Structure 1
């Protein structure tokens, strides 16, 4: 009885000592071998308060180097004793792996979002290029339309010029025709007059010849 009372008193003293040194508490982690029992006392026969999963963060409140136990407070608030050899000063590999996995997932999501943004950017860039091509085509069409209008105006001016030249040629041709008719009229009149004169002169010449013949006899 006295031995049990002494052990209980010592345990209470250690609890008080650990509580008074909270300000100097260190942080540890359950090693990644197996789940570790958190016990009510510094003995494997002590009642198991909680099974601590590997990787759980612990607040180290006090340790006993003689029996190899450390008084801790688990991340879930439970307090008790755990064998010191099951405590690691660094996060265990599984915890690190989980943290790395979470970081990897975050990076993958970020990469996915970046790829989506890049795809959207490429789509927008493609749309921009298509619109620029359409704009250039419209500009070319407008330029062709302006060029066609200029060519049409030039052709119209040429048609007007040719029409004027044709009218001028018609007038000149008509004038030549009129002059030719007039010349033929004059020639005809001259020939008629010449015929009349011949008709008047020839009889007289014949009469004179006859008169001359008679005179010779």
Structure 2
């Protein structure tokens, strides 16, 4: 009877010292394996093990024995020392994730580098094309200027020739006019002598 009463008091004290939590995710520490027990203390029998880094669900804790009741991925409910679980994933779990993140970042950097190189190559091509177009336009502009200078010289020469021709034509007209005037004057002087005059006696006779 006393033994039964003692067991009841022990269970009552355990239940009072046990804090119930809403189910939370926890992770087993980085030890190789962690033992599971049937109760919140080292005196309880072992029921199995969980692997390092394995995710478990926290059900409740015992503040006196510093044990936590958890449920593993297989649905087993057992007790485990609080010191052997953590809110953060273990290194064994995080290392592959970190490696994957590093790989993803490396791939992104590689893609960014390739994209940047491609953009740089495209810009260089555009700049080269622009330089070629600018050079071509400069050459064309130079040729047009040279052609304009030649055309201006030709126009100037043509104007000089035109002025000379105009002067020559004017001189010819002056010469022709002077010749006509001279011939008229000469005829005016010669005709009176060439036409015979009638005598006065001939006038009376008639």
Name the TM-score, length of structure 2 as normaliser: 0.55
- Give CA-to-partner distance per residue, 1:63-97, whole Å, 9 cap, x none: 456666533122x3522324314223433233343
TM-score by length of 1: 0.53
* Matched position secondary structure for 1:129: helix
State the Cα distance separating 1:167 from its structure 2 match. Answer: 6.8
1:166 Cα deviation from its structure 2 partner:
8.0
Q: CA deviation at 1:150?
A: 0.5
Q: 1:44 to 1:108 in 2, by over 3 A?
A: farther
How many residues get paired?
A: 153
**Corresponding residue for 1:192?**
none
What are the equivalent positions in structure 2 for 1:18-167 lying under 5 Å apart?
Answer: 24-38=22-36, 41-42=38-39, 46-48=46-48, 52-64=50-62, 69-74=67-72, 76-84=73-81, 85-161=83-159
For the pair shown, which has the larger CA radius of gyration, 1 or 2?
1
In 1, the alpha carbon distance for the partners of 2:162 and 2:55 equals: 108
Structure 1: which 5+ runs fail to align?
176-217
Alpha-carbon RMSD across the aligned residues, in angstroms, is 3.8
Match of 2:186 in 1: none
The Cα shift of 1:165 comes to: 7.6
Partner-residue secondary structure (3-state), 1:25: strand
Contact 2:25 2:57 (8 Å CA) reproduced: yes
For the residues of structure 2 that align with 1:161 and 1:60, how far apart are their CA atoms? 109
Of 101-110 and 143-152, deviating more is 101-110
What secondary structure sits across from 2:56 in the alignment? strand
Q: Any idea what SS the aligned residue of 2:77 has?
A: strand
Contact map agreement 1:64 1:70 (CA 8 A) in 2: yes
Structure with more of its chain in helix, by fraction: 1
